[in-house]
Structure formats: structure tokens, C-alpha cells
Chains A and B, each alone.
Chain A
Amino acid sequence: MTQIQQINRLAGGARVDSDGVINFTYNGRPMQGVSGDTLASALLANGVDVVGRSFKYGRARGIVGHGAEEPNAIMQIGSGASSVPNLKATQVELYEGLESAPVNGWPSVDFDLMSIAGFFSRLMPPGFYYKTFMYPAKLWMTYEHFIRRAAGLGRSPVGDDPDSYDKLNQHADVLVIGAGPAGLMAAREAARAGARVMIVDEQSEFGGSLLASTQTIENRSASAWVDLMVAELKTFANLQMLPRSTAFGYYDHNFIGILERRSDHLSLSAATGSRQRLHRVRAKRVVLATGAFERPLVFAHNDIPGVMQASSVSTYVNRYGVAPGSRMVLFTCNDSAYQTALDWHGAGRTVVAIVDSRAEPNGAMLAAVEALGMEVMLGCAVIEAQGGKRVKRALVAPINAQGTEVVGSVQRIACDLIACSGGWSPAIHLSSHTGAKPQWDEAIVGFKPGTSTQQECSAGACAGTYRLSECFAEGAQAGAQAAHKSGFGSGVGLFPQPPVEEHDEYPQQALFLVPHTQRSTRAPSQFVDMQLDVTAGSIEIAVREGFESIEHIKRYTALGFGTDQGKLGNINGMAILAKALGQSMAETGTTIFRPAYTPTTFGAIAGRDIGELFDPQRHTAMHRWHLARGAEFEDVGQWKRPWYYPRSRASGGVESLREAVDRECLAVRNSVGILDASTLGKIDIQGPDTAEFITRMYTNSYLKLAPGKCRYGVMLKEDGMIFDDGVCACLGDNHYLMYTTTGGAAGVLAWLELWQQTEWPDMQVYFTSVTDHWSTATISGPNARRVLAKVCDDIDLDRQAFGFMDWRDGTVAGVAARVFRISFTGELSYEINVPAHYGRHLWEALIAAGEAFDITPYGTESMHVLRAEKGFIIVGQDTDGSMTPADMNMDWVVAKNKTFSFIGKRSLQRSDALRDQRKQFVGLKPLNPNDVLPEGAQVVFDPQQPIPMSMQGHVTSSYYSANLGHAFALAVIKGGINRMGQVVHCPLADGRILAAEIVSSVFYDPEGARQHVE
């Protein structure tokens, strides 16, 4: 394809290098820009008018702004996995090889089927989405495909993000946000005072509005003055300067999120290191110097490409050397925009007319343009723009002094650019994040930052101060004060005020909606929010439909809900609403801006905490043995626990979960199995009051537990509901070891500490988490004693001498060990604890000792099946925080006669805990022995009843048991303990209904004989 010429490129341009040619593509077309360009300035230089189609009506849209406020030029940048959707062309720095395409516009921006939709605009009134959602869902499904495709909100990259991101925690005495005139001065004063200072700015270089200014500062051009100032700032060792860094959120206690774009401006081959960095800054003081946005003027068809913000036109001319058009009409209600006429004239282009809504402005700016012979039409307004893909003419008419009515005949003025200025709106977004309520100020016709409880202040244009000399003074003062309040300097600025050439301005007119010869609901669309196609008429319709709160109007019309967050449209929208409601701006209030100020990449928020680094993994000392044996793992908290150990089948292939678990379970019941139980939580508790303390925490008593003995206990929360369970061993006088569930360890420790510290601080009891100190191998099965005897000769293993629920110190496999005779399978079991680093040695010694008995490693799945066969609960699986011991048929664990009212005891007597028909823990035996009921399945008594059925309980655990020869389940069912033998039903989502009989929760060895084998 042929190269398109930069037809709008001017010779000058303060911040671009016209020799540094950069090649890029737009919609696949090769184009050229220059070093220093943004994608927007390069597109304008190449004469690109249409950069997107509007969201709702499919109207052609062009670039209107030059920064974060841009609503239309939303681009997809790059291709493949690192492609980024929804970037504003005004914020994308041009680099060699950049690929860009508009996100809106199907099938193309130049010929768009959706423009026909403009014809249907009356079919999509305000509240269209809300109304659509209120109809049956089917209708939305019909619309959705059409709307989403038409709206074209960018394409998410497919595949993993190849870029890396990182995070930096930073501390600053003074953080200055914004490096325009006020911010630069603030940073210089604060740094000079000796404070640790950070200054950040979202643009590629510091200077803010000065980069495009034609003012003279200290006898230099503004642009040259900025260079000097930046060079001076670089000399401060205590000052960190971050360009390309957006402070996107101001959070509690002066915590600020800053996104630094480190390589987005570089071509892929030149980019190294992390793409973006999230700075998490805690600042003692913050100076907000975020500037202001020029307000658009709302008139009919103000969205045609070629209608631009006046300050943006000046920026393109002065900073980038781009004149986006040739014949300009300037439309303003204030003096500041007159500069754009001077700039345009200076670029050698034609100013057709200056249309000023004020009847009698009077000042230096008016004199300056009149001296150049420009035509100024006072008391007039551009009431409508005309054209298709580009402005062709402006309709200008006289309006009344209030700016509410057209009062004379309409004149048609040919032009290709309408530069507009409706005054300025301070960028109060970050101030608003702090919770400060913006205050309407009639004098500046805008919202000023409210007072906040954070340690911050606003300076310069974001505080409603627009004169350059005053911005300098305010910035310097703010910087000196911020340094002083964080402990540096006297609070008085040390640098002289830079002399500035400036003049007085004549007061602006508040003009939020330009009148038309027809009223707003009839006139051609007057756009308030371009990104979401919200018009003045639609706000008025919303008011007619009864909406009166700005927050409701926003949601009903979608005003300010785009990726630009209504930076341009919000104030005009509110003013139009205020007028429709007959209120003042102050009465209408303001909307609260929330983070993020501009869209922020998820990648940067995640940083390096992805993939393997997302969450730490905890491995036991035997982990590599499990890996070598091909174990499948299960996540239990952060622990990786062996789930099952699949073996090769004799018939080929590898065992399934079911096959492996059947084999493992049979091995435990018939010979011996071995389980890695190292992950169980272990808390060492010492002190003279330990027995009393843990007796208050458990439902049963430990006061008479002798050294060498263990006891199983259940812990309740104060509401009487089961919270954790485990065995507690008395190690010696005033010394106990408490086992917790693997997942509950941290919570139990915090719970113990809570009561000791806050309720019973006089009790002498001390807690230490020792979970990681021990490796634990559990051998379980009728041959367990025989295996242990081979590797332990200093413990009397006689079944009387070392009884059930005893523990002994001894030597196992040559290592000092603590052996517990406790059991979670119902079989004879020994839990052998050795210092953690001997874990693998112990494990391999036991495997070797067990060889003669075909000792079988088993994982958590078999452990679950085996304990369920015995009806042993797993807290958190069979209980859910709403089950009492009585509900779980475990009244035996509650000591009724303890002197102290243990935690949760009183709640067991609450009427709710005693009521009939609480869900109770039972077993379920499926009528079809092969039906494994899904865990979580709901239980009903009558499967024929109409939906919604009356649910009577649910399945908590369910397995196939090779030992029993049938499937079985545990469940909680209303009044279940008195329903033994009844048949219940589990209706499943796939339509099947599985029937099961309510039976005892103990399926295996109810008399507990297996525990006592020889």
C-alpha cells in the first residue's frame, strides 16, 4: 500500500523531532510520524479524521482531546498475546513498528454498517439497557450478540501475557502528583527543604500544560524553561522523578497506587525488563497538582470529526507541530481559548471566525485577535455542526445573555475545524478518591477539591487556580508546607518566583448546553458523553421519567461509565440535569470519582505473584519420595498432600483414582498402610494454667489427663458450633501438645491467643506453633505393631502396656521419636513423630520394615474413605459452622459437669440448639450399591413433589468402599437420627433421582474391636 503523507505536519513543534521518522501502521495502513509524537498526533498529522464509531449510534468519531480525557480515539495496540485493547491514542507514545487499530467500528470505521443504526436511535432510548434487562432474559440474548459486536469494546489477547510486571513498595515524605507548573515548583521546594520527594506524571515528559504553552517564563519559551527546570530537579539526590507514571488511586492513610509504564513506548525489540511497574507508595504528605480538563461545549452534532477541544488544538500545533485542519471556527465562552486562535494563525492557517457566547467580553485577548483582523462574533454560539466524516460548516446564531435561547437568524459558516472551549474543570479525581466532597465554585464555574482527612493539598489548576504565576506560587507554597509538615524546612519557599508574561482575563460565561432553534429532545443530538453516546436530550428524558439523583441518572443513561469515566462529559451532564430539575449545581451535588483514574493493567496489579509464585507451597520432608512414587497431590491449604498413589495396572495403563483407593483401603484393613501425616497442625502449649486453659477451650476435660495419655477433643465457637477437632496429648506437667486439622492450624492458634490475651490475661499459658518441627508417618492396619517392632526396640509395644490413646517417647529407626497410638482409620495405628528433617529417613525405614507385610502408602482420599467407614467426621466437610456436637451425634465428647462454662457451652442450651428437626449426622446406604451420591447433593423425602422441593438435608461425604463392597455416604438430615431405616432421595441436576436408606454413620466395626488386635 502507498505511504500516506503527513499532510498536516507543520515545520515547528516544540517537543517533536521532525527528523526522527517513525513508521507505524493504522488499520494495517503504513504511516509515518516523528519522534515525540503520540499515536493521536501522528494520526492527525496523516489526516486521519475518523478513528472510531460511536457505541450506540455508530456515528463517525474523531480525536477531540490530547490526554486522559479523550473519549473517542480508543485503540487496540500491538498484536498477538501482548496486544492491548482500549488504549487512548492520545496517551500512546509512537514507536517504530507500532500496530494500531480502532476498537470501535464494525466492519470498518470508514464504511460502517452501524451508521444505519443512527437511523434507529429512537429505538435505543435512555435506559435502553435497563429496560432490556427487565424483559425476559431471552430478549437480551438476542440483543447481546448484536450490541457487543457493534460496540466493539476491544479484543482481549488470547494466550498468556508474555510480559513481566513488578511491584515496588516505596515511602516518601512528599509525593507530588503532576509535573506541570505547580507540581514542578512543589517538588523543587520540598526537595530543597531536604524531604524525600517523589514526583510523578502520566505523560512521557514533565512539564504538563507548559509543553504546549506559548508563554514566556524567565525570558525563555515555556518549553525551554521546562527543560531547565527538569535539569535542576535532577540535581537533587533526594528526589525521585517518574514520568509515564499515573497515580491511579488515592487510598486510605496516604497510600497511593502509581502505574509506571516502563516499556510500552518502546518497540518490541527494544523493550527489556518489566513492562509496567506498580509503585505502592506510602507518603507522609501528598501535593496534588493534577491540572484541569477543558470542558467541551454541548451543541447539536458536536461529535462530528473536526470538532475538538480548543486547548487540544493548541497542543497539537505547539507541542507536536500538527495542524488538524485548515479553516477553523473557534467557539468559546471564556478568554483562555483565544490563545488557540493566535496559535492557529501563527501556524499559517485560517481562523474563519471566533464565536464568543459572551455579549461584551473585553480584554487583552480580544484586542490581540482583533489586531490580527480576525472576525469575532460576540453574543453568538455555534448551535450545530454539519458534515459527515468531517465538519463542513458551523451554524452560528445569536443567543440571549443567559445562553438559553437562540434570538436571531442562523448563519452558515464553512470550516473544517471547530475548536471549542466551555471553560475548565479541575481534575479533582484523586482528591475525590480520599472521600473529600467536591465543592461547586461559581467564580471558576467548576468543582474544587473538598476538604479531606488525608494529609494532602491541591495546588494549581486542580485547585481552580489557572493563572500561571499563581500556579507557580501555589505549587511552591504547597511543596514547602508539605516538606515542613513532614519534618523538613521552615515551610517558606526558598526560590524566587519565576517572572511570567501574562494578562488579565475577562470573566467566563457558564454555558453547559448551547441552545438550538429546537428544544433538546427534538434538536439533532447534542452529545454530552461521546464514549457512551449520552445526549442532552436523553438526560432530559430521564428526568421526565422521574429520575432526580445524579447517581441514578448516571446509571440510567450510562453517563460517565466509559473508559474515560466522563472526564469531559460529567460536569455538563450534571449541569443539564440541574437545569432540568430546576436546581443549582450545589444542590445537584457531584458524583464521586473512584479509582482507577485511568484503566490499570491487571498484570501490574498481580506483578510477580503469578504462576508458581502466586501462593507458597508447603512440602513435607517426604515430598520427594511421594513424587518419585508418582503420587497425585491434593492441595490442603498451602500444603501439597499425596492424594493417592496410582500404580501400573497388570493389564497396562495406570490405575484410576477409584482403583488406587480401593487397593489402598483394602491394604490398610487387611495388612498395613502408611500415611504422611506431617501436615496436621501442632501447637505446643506450656505453663502452669495449661490444663485449665485447654479445658475451657475444648468441650471435654483435660484436668485429669496424665503424662503419656492423649484425648480427642472438639472445639466450639462461642455460638456452640464445631470449629475444630483433634487429639491433645499431655507431654508432662504443665506441657501439652495440641493437634489441629491441617487447614485449621492457624485459626486455632489465633483463637487460643485471643482468649488468653483478652479475656484471661492472668492465666499463665504459652503457645508455640510446632507444625513444621515434626515429620509424622502414620502406620495403620492389623500388622502395624509388627512393622513398628522391627524398627523400635525401646518402647514396650505390648497392647496393654502401650494402650489405645497412649503416647510414648522412644527411638524409631535410630531417631528419637514420639509415638502416638491413636487412630483415624479404626485400625491399630501408630503416629510416629520425628524431628522434621528425619522424616524421609523414618519413612523409608518404615517402608523397608513393612515390606514383608506389603506395606502400602495411602493418600488423603483413602484416609477419607477409611475414616468415613468409621463415621469419623472431618470438620469443614461434614460440618459447616452450623453443627453442634449433638447434631453430629457426638454428645459423648461434651463434658456436662465441668466447673468452668467452656467456650460454646451456654449456646448448646439455646432454644435454637435444642429445637426439633435440626440437621443430624447419619449414614446413607444407596439402594443401588454402585450409586456414589454426589457430595453436596440435596436430600428430599418425597421425590414426586413439585419444584422447588422441600430440602431436608445434604450429603457431606460420599465414596465407594471396597471393604464394604458398596457405595456409602455421610449426610446431615433433619431429624435424621430418628429416621433410621427410612428411604430418602437425592434429585440430581441431570434429572436422575438416587435413593438411599438412612443408616448409622458407623459402617465398619461399630464395636471398635479392630483397634485391639494382637
Chain B
Amino acid sequence: MLLIHCPHCREDREEEEFSYNGEAHIVRPLDPESLSDEAWGDYLFFRKNPRGVHREMWYHAVGCRRYFYAARNTLSYEILHTYCVGEKPQIDAANEGAGA
């Protein structure tokens, strides 16, 4: 069971307080009607499944009810850092040893 730092509450809390919401930073197209079925399908259905650092979205469902972002290593389950929506990550993906 993970111990997750909620960047909004600024506390380490048990995983059972959170729910997982998939890959982070998927921006909704501004004009969906202008996209081809293929491009819209990519937005809808295609997600990364990296071996290494993954940017993902979590929801502090029984806490502050805030969505936030986490950089988590999918091999070790280590969470490198978490940050609020609208914040810049402290470190960029290249420095997180992606693929490690």
C-alpha cells in the first residue's frame, strides 16, 4: 500500500484515502469537432504505459477532494514527487531516470 504525499494537504496519507485517475497532463482538444476520428480516438483511448517514471493523476477522494499529479516509478512504485494542478513539476522527466 502506497504512502502518498498530498501536495494540497501537505501530508503523507495512506493510499486508501486516494483514488487513481490515470495518466496526467492529457489536455482536452479545444475544438473536438475539428479532429479526425483517429486523432479523437488517440485522445480518448491511448495511454502511456511506461516502464519507469509515469506522470499520473490522483484524487484525494476522502481528504481534500483535490486532484493532483504524481511522478511514480512503475517498477519500484516509488513516488518521486507530487504537485498541484497548475504547478510546474520540481524536476523534469529527463532527470527522473525514466526507463530505469
Contact = CB atoms under 8 A, between A and B. Distances in A.
B37 interface: yes
A718 B77 contact: no
A901 interface: yes
Interface in A202-257: 251-255
A907 B35 CA distance: 11
Given A718-B44, A905-B32, A906-B32, A754 B67 contact: yes
Interface of A: 251-255, 282, 435, 453, 718-719, 750, 753-754, 757-759, 761, 901, 905-907, 909-911
A27 B79 CA distance: 53
Contacts of A909: 33
A253 B16 CA distance: 14
A761 B76 contact: no
Given A253-B3, A435-B76, A718-B44, A753 B67 contact: yes
A935 B14 CA distance: 40
A901 B76 contact: no
Contact-residue bracket for chain B? 20 to 34
A253 B14 CA distance: 10
B42 to A, nearest CB: 12
Contacts of B85: 757-758, 761
Contact of B41 (A758, A905, A910): A910
B40 A907 contact: yes
Contacts of B57: 758
B28 to A, nearest CB: 5
B33 A901 contact: yes
Contacts of B32: 901, 905-906
Contacts of A905: 32-33
Given A253-B3, A453-B76, A759 B28 contact: yes
B76 A758 contact: no
Contact of A906 (B21, B35, B77): B35
Interface string B5-22: 000000000100001010
A754 B32 CA distance: 19
Given A453-B73, A910-B40, A911-B37, 11 more contacts: A718-B28, A718-B44, A750-B65, A753-B65, A753-B67, A759-B27, A901-B32, A901-B33, A909-B33, A910-B37, A910-B41
Contact of B3 (A255, A759, A761, A906): A255
Contacts of A761: 85-86
Interface in B52-95: 57, 59, 61, 65-67, 73, 75-79, 85-86
Given A435-B76, A757-B66, A251 B1 contact: yes
B2 interface: yes
Nearest to A253: B3
Contacts of A757: 66-67, 85
Nearest to A434: B76
A399 B79 CA distance: 54
The 4 closest A-B pairs by CB, nearest first: A906-B32, A453-B76, A253-B3, A901-B32
Contact of A253 (B59, B61, B77): B77
Contacts of B67: 753-754, 757-758
B37 A253 contact: no
A113 B33 CA distance: 76
Interface majority SS on A: helix, strand, loop or mixed? helix
Contacts of B19: 750
Nearest to A720: B44
Interface string B26-46: 011001110101001100110
A907 B44 contact: yes
A758 B56 CA distance: 13
Contact of B1 (A255, A753, A754): A255
Nearest to A717: B44
Contacts of B33: 901, 905-906, 909
B1, B66, B73: residue with the most chain A Cβ atoms closer than 10 Å: B1
Contacts of B78: 453
Contacts of B77: 252-253
Contacts of B65: 750, 753
Contacts of B44: 718-719, 907
Contacts of B2: 252-253
B71 to A, nearest CB: 14
Nearest to B30: A901
A759 B43 CA distance: 14
Contacts of B61: 750
A24 B65 CA distance: 57
14 contacts: A253-B1, A253-B79, A718-B28, A719-B44, A750-B59, A750-B65, A753-B59, A753-B65, A757-B85, A901-B31, A906-B32, A906-B33, A909-B33, A910-B37
Contacts of A910: 37, 40-41
Given A253-B77, A758-B85, A759-B28, A282 B37 contact: no
Contacts of B28: 718, 759
Nearest to A756: B67
A718 B65 CA distance: 21
Nearest to B45: A719
A248 to B, nearest CB: 14
A758, A761, A901: residue with the most chain B Cβ atoms closer than 10 Å: A758
A746 to B, nearest CB: 8
B44 to A, nearest CB: 6
Contacts of A759: 27-28
A906 B1 contact: no
A821 to B, nearest CB: 33
A196 B43 CA distance: 49
Contacts of B31: 901
Nearest to B61: A750
B41 to A, nearest CB: 7
Contact of A252 (B1, B40, B45): B1
Contacts of B14: 282
Nearest to B25: A758
A293 B45 CA distance: 50
A687 to B, nearest CB: 16
